[in-house]
């Protein structure tokens, strides 16, 4: 996006990519469908050092501008009822192909399988080092969009952070984000593979650290799905601390279940049947067992205090959180350069003139659902625009 925007404004652009194709990381987004943005993108949905930074950036290039720009590039999109946006093709591969074609049409000089190992500022130029002193390139402006450490197999290993630190930037610790949680789920082992919409509350002792709502998947090692992954950055930054996750299994079905119980309260309906009316089949026997009731228990036989205790367990099923999976399982990493060290209008570095930063190299974390790809597009477009329209000129690369 940075390269396309800079080229659109008349700059001569070089694009270096360590991979054999541009947009390789796009291929794994949205489970291959490319969850490209979200209708509900807003600064308050993200975590960063200064939310005003995101307010300013999104006011210049937000969801609407991005979707319109993608449409112009030949990537029409649609939105699901919950606001998640995808290409009409439902294929991340077609998005990557369209962007690669757009780069060619824009005249961007693309260098694949090329790793920039270092960059050094001069009086009026920047020198890029591709593998050593013998392979250098001088440019007027540099946009760094090297990512964080998520999905290292796709080229993001955090190798460039030491370079940015040497140039004067702060580098916040890099940790996994949007990653499955590791938890003590031995008491829930029969729920492996069960998926449903829930509400989650993360506690450190009695203090609430965060809440989320969405789809949850029970796994052998813990919990996955957007609801769990949206809280993972709060877990990875608290290694070793006593954390508890309360799962509200009734977050989306509490009213229908209450209504059914009220109608059937005096009837000998088996409890698994009552709960099974709103929950996946594997859940009722496990929860009934945890509550200490017989699997043969019937609704009319259950005293009111026991029924309320069961409802309470369904509304707050607790697990002990042990940590997160590693970077290889993460959709994103937290940490990197704080946004306070970058101009929101141009993504220009406040400590190294001529340097612009975009994407995951900045310490910004949004929830699942296209929010982080939207920030990548926003910051990329603003960085390219800023680099191409610098007062010092940018008709060279």
CB 34 within 8 A of CB 26: yes
Residues 170 and 184 in one domain: no
Cα(59)–Cα(350) distance, rounded to whole angstroms? 20
**pLDDT confidence of residue 222:** 97
Residues 141 and 26 in one domain: yes
Phi-psi bin for 251: left (phi > 0), alpha (psi -120 to 50), beta? alpha
**pLDDT confidence of residue 397:** 35
**pLDDT confidence of residue 396:** 36
User: Is residue 52 assigned to a domain?
Assistant: yes
State if pTM tops 0.85. Answer: yes
Last residue of a domain, one of 271, 303, 325: 325
**pLDDT confidence of residue 323:** 96
Residues 113 and 237 in one domain: no
Residues 231 and 345 in one domain: no
Strands 317-324 and 181-184, by their bridges, are antiparallel
Residues 165 and 18 in one domain: yes
**pLDDT confidence of residue 194:** 97
User: Is residue 397 assigned to a domain?
Assistant: no
Residues 303 and 188 in one domain: yes
Residues 195 and 165 in one domain: no
User: Is residue 338 assigned to a domain?
Assistant: yes
**pLDDT confidence of residue 156:** 83
Residues 30 and 154 in one domain: yes
Last residue of a domain, one of 272, 291, 325: 325
Residues 237 and 378 in one domain: no
User: Is residue 396 assigned to a domain?
Assistant: no
CB 355 within 8 A of CB 142: yes
Provide the domain limits for residue 146. Answer: 2-176+328-388
Q: Give the torsion sign (CA, 169, 66, 158, 243).
A: positive
Instruction: Flag residues of the chain having pLDDT under 70.
Output: 132-134, 391-397
> Which run of H or of E encompasses 195?
strand 195-204
User: Is residue 261 assigned to a domain?
Assistant: yes
State the total domains in the chain. Answer: 2
**pLDDT confidence of residue 229:** 97
CATH number of the domain at 58, please. 3.50.50.60
Residues 297 and 151 in one domain: no
* Those residues with Cβ within 8 angstroms of residue 264's Cβ, 6 or more apart along the chain or in another chain: 274, 299
Last residue of a domain, one of 310, 325, 340: 325
Residues 149 and 204 in one domain: no
> Which run of H or of E encompasses 321?
strand 317-324
């Amino acid at each position: 996006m940075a390269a396309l925007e800079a080229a659109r404004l008349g700059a001569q652009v070089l694009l270096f990519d360590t991979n054999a194709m541009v947009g390789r990381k796009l291929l794994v987004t949205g489970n291959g469908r490319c969850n490209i943005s979200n209708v509900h993108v807003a600064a308050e949905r993200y975590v960063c050092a200064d939310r005003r930074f995101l307010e300013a950036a999104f006011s210049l290039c937000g969801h609407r501008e991005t979707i319109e720009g993608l449409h112009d590039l030949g990537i029409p999109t649609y939105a699901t009822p919950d606001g998640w946006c995808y290409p009409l093709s439902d294929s991340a591969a077609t998005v990557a192909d369209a962007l690669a074609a757009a780069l060619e049409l824009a005249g961007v000089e693309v260098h694949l399988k090329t790793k920039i190992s270092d960059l050094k500022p001069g009086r009026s130029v920047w020198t890029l080092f591709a593998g050593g002193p013998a392979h250098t390139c001088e440019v007027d402006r540099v946009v760094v969009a090297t990512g964080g450490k998520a999905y290292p197999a796709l080229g993001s290993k955090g190798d460039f952070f030491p370079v940015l630190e040497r140039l004067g930037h702060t580098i916040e610790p890099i940790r996994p984000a949007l990653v499955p949680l590791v938890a003590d789920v031995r008491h829930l082992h029969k729920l492996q593979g069960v998926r449903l919409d829930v509400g989650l509350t993360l506690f450190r002792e009695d203090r609430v650290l965060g809440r989320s709502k969405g789809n949850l998947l029970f796994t052998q090692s813990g919990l996955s799905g957007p609801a769990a992954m949206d809280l993972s950055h709060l877990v990875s930054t608290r290694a070793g601390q006593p954390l508890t996750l309360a799962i509200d299994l009734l977050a989306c079905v509490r009213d229908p279940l209450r209504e059914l119980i009220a109608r059937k309260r005096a009837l000998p309906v088996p409890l698994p049947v009552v709960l099974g009316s709103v929950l996946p089949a594997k859940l009722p026997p496990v929860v009934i067992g945890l509550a200490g009731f017989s699997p043969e228990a019937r609704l009319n036989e259950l005293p009111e205090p026991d029924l309320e205790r069961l409802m309470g367990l369904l509304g707050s099923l607790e697990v002990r959180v042990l940590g997160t999976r590693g970077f290889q399982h993460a959709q994103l990493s937290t940490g990197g350069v704080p946004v306070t060290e970058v101009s929101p209008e141009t993504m220009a570095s406040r400590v190294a003139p001529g340097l612009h930063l975009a994407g995951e190299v900045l310490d910004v974390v949004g929830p699942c659902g296209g929010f982080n790809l939207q920030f990548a597009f926003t910051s990329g477009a603003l960085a390219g625009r800023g680099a191409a329209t610098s007062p010092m000129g940018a008709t060279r690369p």
